[in-house]
Amino acid sequence: VSDTDGFNAQNVLKSDEPIMSPSWSPDGKSLAYVSFENKRAEIFIQHLATARRSKVAGFRGLNSAPSWSPDGKFLALVLSKDGSPDIYTLNTATKRLKRLTRHRSIDTEPVWSADGKSIIFTSDRAGSPQIYEIGVNGGKPKRLTFEGRYNSAASLSPDGKFIVIVHAERGQYKIAQYERATGNLTVLTDSSLDESPSFSPNGKMVLYASTRGDKGFLFAISIDGRAKHKLSDQAGDIREPVWGPFKSK
């Protein structure tokens, strides 16, 4: 966890095994993440102030991509315990699971809409990764993206009007912005291996990781693509950044 400029980084958890897919709780007090510390993917919730944590998903197969609901009462997550990877919701108090998708494809990377009534996710059910939306009570998913053969890793703007995604063009992976009202897709970055976009709480900037050479760096770009900033040169390889939930005063 670091300041918004990438400085003052502090370790929340250290492990010799991979730790990935961090997701902030809406109140900023907890993180959900995937850890391989037990030699398999499991999902944990950790309270930042006390470091107290609990395992909330350790089923057979895949346990991945946790995402908090806007009210902080649920996690959306990906499980393959019943076959192919599908989207589920988990009530964090009762631990009750609800399965939303049922498809032989890979459904992954769920994120909640701003009103908590639907979930945006990535699926290759049409033959290549695209962005879909499904209601929290299930039903038939609606495909959102049609431009290009690869669109993934959605992050929604706070007002719900835009989605930033990873969009592939001629083998290059860039950050793009999808406007929900029109379906227009605008490419924001000009590099070739960008990943993990995350909207700022005020909706004006997008945080993302970009690989340069053999190392990942942290960048932020304005939603019109005009202002791009490389954040601090930290040691190590930067992957899967996610913006904290607090708005600036």
Domain with 222 in it: what CATH number? 2.120.10.30
In this structure, the answer to whether residues 24 and 98 fall within a common structural domain is yes
In this structure, the answer to whether residues 40 and 98 fall within a common structural domain is yes
In this structure, the answer to whether residues 151 and 102 fall within a common structural domain is no
Instruction: Give the span between the Cα atoms of 49 and 27, in whole angstroms.
Output: 12
Query: What's the pTM?
Result: 0.92
78, 107 Cβ separation under 8 angstroms: yes
In this structure, the answer to whether residues 244 and 163 fall within a common structural domain is yes
Number of domains the chain is built from: 2
In this structure, the answer to whether residues 167 and 228 fall within a common structural domain is yes
In this structure, the answer to whether residues 244 and 154 fall within a common structural domain is yes
Range of the domain at 41: 17-107
In this structure, the answer to whether residues 232 and 155 fall within a common structural domain is yes
Tens of pLDDT, residue by residue over 32-78, are: 999 999 999 999 999 999 999 999 999 999 999 999 999 999 999 99
31, 25 Cβ separation under 8 angstroms: yes
Residue 41 domain flag: yes
What's the chain's average pLDDT? 92
105, 143 Cβ separation under 8 angstroms: no
Tens of pLDDT, residue by residue over 198-239, are: 999 999 999 999 998 888 889 999 999 999 988 866 666 778
Three-state DSSP state, 152: strand
Residue 22 domain flag: yes
In this structure, the answer to whether residues 73 and 155 fall within a common structural domain is no
In this structure, the answer to whether residues 173 and 90 fall within a common structural domain is no
In this structure, the answer to whether residues 89 and 156 fall within a common structural domain is no
In this structure, the answer to whether residues 156 and 240 fall within a common structural domain is yes
Tell me how far CA of residue 131 lies from CA of 142, 154, 161, 164, 178, in angstroms: 9, 7, 15, 11, 10
Q: How confident is the model at residue 5 (pLDDT cuts 50, 70, 90)?
A: low
Tens of pLDDT, residue by residue over 73-98, are: 999 999 999 999 999 999 999 999 99
Tens of pLDDT, residue by residue over 112-121, are: 999 999 999 9
Residue 125 domain flag: no
Residue 34 domain flag: yes
pLDDT at 100 over 90: yes
Token digits of residue 51:
């470091």
| CA nearest neighbour of 90 among 45, 56, 113, 120 | 56
Instruction: Give the span between the Cα atoms of 84 and 103, in whole angstroms.
Output: 7
In this structure, the answer to whether residues 102 and 27 fall within a common structural domain is yes
